[in-house]
């Protein structure tokens, strides 16, 4: 029997990790990606269709006879890509537009959490400059200020500087009409990716991302500079509390909507000193770079798993996970995150390690093949080196060993990925 034809939507490291995982699945015959990158082209077929082109993606899925579409980024989900695909009879892994509002609107997500009694920080809505002073006096610094728009993880400012806070609030009011001021949650962050449909849910191994650009968690926020899984901070006790207090009530709420949620719910956790988890935010898709360390730890057939979720049959699937650890280190272009120098040649991206229980590979993100056949950079986060090993320390070391083989002028990466757990 021929395997499934799967179309992946997106062009980052997350999509390359999904493409590799699906390509290795016995249930999958062909992997297609739109628009993809130089890495996805190595494991399947790329198509020049933009992620924002909802009807174009639908047409492509029909043309290639896709049995399943897996949507990577949040913007097409908010724009209703899953709604469109299901409307033309193609199973889609990713929530419908209403479900995607959990990421599309931080205010909506807060209101849902408050209504369900899910632990999260307090929030104020500020829509006038005259309210800024009193609002800032409500919460102790540092202040967390969030624009209520999709901003690729960058529409957030965390600061103890009153002038900086007031300025960002004022600018956001001018561009967006209002802004959210949230209570700062202290503790240690972790990410829990939960596959979810109306029939049930599956919690994937918890991971920890490194948002800041520099070593020691310094500098501005980025899309993510590295990750590892499983994260030791999510102990069995913390995990159970997160399931009982956060995942269960969210699943009950989402499964009872007019159109049930089908896809992955990314739960951004803050775990305090007592092991109590709260929600920082929800995303409605796989995290990047969390996907790069999570997918390799799924031992079950990924194609079967994602299709079952897309069709509302997740509870019928048993899922096995590896006991190994995974670590990924992101290589960013010169100037990232403020700007990105692109078009530079990358050497050594075919580096890998395969020694006993240790596997190291490269996940492509902002890469493409130039007209003259060279591998060049095309984005801020260019690639990531990922390793899977029996323990976290070995995985981190192997990931850096692969990174040392790669050359990209002006690029930079963090040297302390996994520091909280090592």
Band of residue 220 on the pLDDT scale cut at 50, 70, 90:
confident
Split at pLDDT 50, 70, 90, the class of 152 is low
* Confidence class for position 234, pLDDT limits 50, 70, 90: very high
Return the closest-CA partner of residue 420 out of 233, 292, 268, 273.
233
Structure-block tokens of residue 138:
């409500």
Residue 107 has pLDDT above 60, yes or no: yes
CA angle, residues 5, 59, 86, in degrees to nearest 5:
70
The model's pTM: 0.95
- The gap from C-alpha 145 to its chain's centroid, in whole angstroms, comes to 21
Q: What CATH number should be reported for the domain whose range is 4-97?
A: 3.40.50.20
Place of tokens 């006991």: 323
Site of tokens 């949040």: 74
Average pLDDT over residues 45-69: 98
- The per-residue pLDDT for range 331-361, each reduced to its tens digit, is 999 999 999 999 999 999 999 999 999 999 9
299 and 320 Cβ atoms separated by less than 8 Å: yes
Residue 150 pLDDT greater than 90, yes or no:
no
Residue 21 has pLDDT above 80, yes or no: yes
Instruction: Please report, rounded to a whole number, the percentage of residues in the chain having pLDDT higher than 70.
Output: 99
Contact 192, 242 (CB under 8 A): yes
Whether the pLDDT of residue 125 is over 60: the answer is yes
Structure tokens at 192: 């829990």
Distance between CA atoms of residues 35 and 50, nearest Å: 6
Q: How does residue 149 score in pLDDT terms, banded at 50, 70 and 90?
A: confident
List, edge to edge, every strand of the sheet that includes 92-93: 45-46, 28-35, 4-10, 68-71, 92-93
Percent of the chain's residues with pLDDT above 90:
93
* 2: pLDDT strictly greater than 80: no
Q: Where in the chain is the domain with CATH 3.30.1490.20?
A: 122-182
- Angle (CA) 219-327-25 rounded to 5° is 130
Measured CA to CA, the distance from residue 72 to residue 86 in angstroms comes to 16
60 or 1, higher pLDDT: 60
Whole-angstrom CA distances from 67 to 35, 94, 355, 399 are 18, 14, 36, 34
Across the range 152-161, mean pLDDT stands at 79
Question: 122-182: what CATH class?
Answer: alpha beta
Q: List where CATH 3.40.50.20 sits in the chain.
A: 4-97
Mean pLDDT over the full length of the chain: 95
**Counting every residue, how long is the chain?**
422
Whether 154 and 337 have beta carbons less than 8 Å apart is answered as yes
Please name which of 213, 216, 215 lies closest in space to residue 225, comparing C-alpha atoms: 213
pLDDT exceeds cutoff 80 at 1: no
């Amino acid at each position: 029997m021929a395997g499934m034809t799967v179309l992946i939507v997106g062009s980052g490291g997350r999509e390359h990790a999904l493409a590799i995982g699906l390509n290795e699945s016995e249930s999958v015959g062909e992997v297609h990606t739109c628009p993809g990158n130089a890495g996805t082209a190595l494991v399947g077929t790329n198509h020049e269709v933009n992620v924002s082109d909802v009807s174009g993606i639908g047409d492509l899925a029909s043309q290639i006879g896709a049995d399943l579409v897996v949507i990577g980024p949040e913007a097409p989900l908010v724009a209703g890509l899953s709604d469109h695909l299901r409307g033309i009879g193609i199973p889609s892994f990713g929530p419908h537009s209403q479900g995607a509002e959990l990421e599309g609107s931080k205010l909506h997500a807060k209101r849902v959490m408050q209504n369900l009694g899910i632990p999260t920080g307090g929030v104020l809505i500020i829509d006038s400059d005259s309210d800024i002073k009193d609002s800032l006096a409500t919460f102790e610094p540092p202040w967390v200020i969030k624009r209520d728009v999709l901003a690729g993880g960058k529409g957030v400012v965390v600061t103890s500087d009153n002038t900086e806070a007031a300025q960002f609030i004022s600018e956001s009011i001018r561009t967006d009409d209002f802004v959210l001021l949230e209570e700062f949650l202290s503790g240690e962050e972790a990410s829990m990716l939960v596959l979810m449909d109306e029939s049930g849910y599956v919690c994937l191994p918890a991971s920890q991302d490194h948002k800041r650009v520099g070593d020691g968690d310094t500098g501005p926020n980025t899309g993510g500079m590295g990750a590892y899984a499983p994260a030791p901070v999510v102990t069995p006790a913390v995990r159970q509390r997160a399931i009982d207090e956060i995942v269960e009530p969210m699943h009950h709420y989402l499964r009872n909507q007019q159109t049930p949620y089908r896809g992955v719910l990314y739960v951004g956790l803050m775990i305090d000193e007592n092991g109590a988890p709260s929600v920082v935010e929800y995303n409605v898709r796989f995290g990047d770079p969390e996907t790069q360390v999570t997918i390799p730890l799924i031992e079950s057939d990924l194609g079967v798993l994602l299709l079952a979720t897309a069709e509302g049959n997740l509870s019928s699937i048993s899922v096995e996970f590896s006991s190994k650890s995974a670590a990924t280190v992101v290589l960013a272009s010169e100037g990232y995150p403020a700007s990105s120098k692109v078009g530079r040649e990358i050497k050594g991206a075919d580096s890998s390690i395969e020694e006993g229980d240790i596997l190291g590979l490269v996940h492509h993100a902002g890469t493409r093949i130039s007209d003259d056949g060279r591998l060049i950079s095309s984005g801020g986060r260019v690639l990531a080196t990922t390793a899977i090993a029996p323990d976290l320390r070995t995985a981190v070391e192997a990931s850096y060993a692969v990174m040392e083989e790669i050359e990209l002028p002006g690029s930079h990466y963090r040297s302390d990925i996994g520091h909280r757990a090592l």
